[in-house]
């Protein structure tokens, strides 16, 4: 019995650890003119209102725009219109990437310069504040200077998607589940044997 309890506790701990670990997310944006951008990022899911979620602690990202992959690494940041000389904040967890497009405030760029210098590839989605272009309160822009690919929406009227990539169970979980089944089967057989002996007297 004690072994079964310990095994179940280990199973619960492993499952909790898997739930809180960094995971991979797919994202995409289709501009109003039909051009599309797709990418992946790694971070931690944070639950929001109404079933929405955001991703924090973004540690890596990759982007393909109009069939061309951005050179990297890419840094995640956010836009601050109150700081015009250095509007991009690349501090850890600054970027707001959400399934709710109206909450998005992020940039992925191949330079972490707050002034936006030395950037050759970037994609930003800014809402709820004065936009980088200075007009409106929502704007999306993708630019790859290596290929000349560029597109923008102001306002952000395209289609945004952010989904979590399913996480496979850790390899040890099926083994642990099998062990629990074996423990349970053994306990049932022992109880049956005790009953049979008891019935003989």
pLDDT (tens digit, 9 = 90+) per residue, 19-42? 457 899 999 999 999 999 999 999
Q: Where residue 14 falls among pLDDT bands split at 50, 70, 90?
A: very low
Among residues 102, 118, 87, 97, the alpha carbon closest in space to that of 45 is found at: 97
Share of the chain above pLDDT 70, in %: 73
Query: What is the model's pLDDT at position 164?
Result: 95
Q: What is the pTM of this model?
A: 0.75
Half-sphere exposure (Cβ direction) of 92: Cα atoms closer than 13 Å: 4
Residue indicated by tokens 């982007």: 63
Evaluated on CA atoms 68, 74, 78, 84, the torsion sign reads negative
């Amino acid at each position: 019995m004690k072994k079964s309890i310990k095994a179940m506790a280990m199973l619960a701990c492993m499952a909790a650890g898997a739930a809180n670990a960094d995971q991979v997310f797919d994202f995409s944006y289709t501009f109003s003119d039909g051009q599309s951008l797709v990418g992946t990022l790694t971070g931690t899911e944070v639950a929001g209102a109404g079933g929405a979620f955001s991703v924090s602690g973004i540690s890596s990202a990759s982007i393909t725009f109009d069939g061309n992959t951005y050179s990297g690494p890419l840094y995640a940041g956010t836009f601050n219109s109150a700081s015009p000389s250095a509007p991009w904040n690349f501090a850890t967890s600054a970027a707001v990437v959400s399934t709710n497009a109206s909450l998005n405030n992020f940039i992925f760029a191949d330079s972490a310069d707050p002034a936006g210098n030395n950037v050759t590839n970037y994609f930003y989605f800014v809402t709820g504040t004065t936009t980088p272009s200075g007009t409106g309160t929502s704007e999306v822009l993708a630019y790859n200077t290596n290929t000349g690919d560029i597109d923008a929406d102001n306002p952000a009227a395209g289609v945004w998607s952010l989904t979590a990539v399913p996480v496979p169970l850790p390899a040890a979980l099926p083994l642990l589940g099998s062990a629990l089944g074996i423990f349970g089967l053994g306990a049932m057989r022992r109880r049956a044997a005790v009953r049979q002996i008891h019935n003989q007297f």
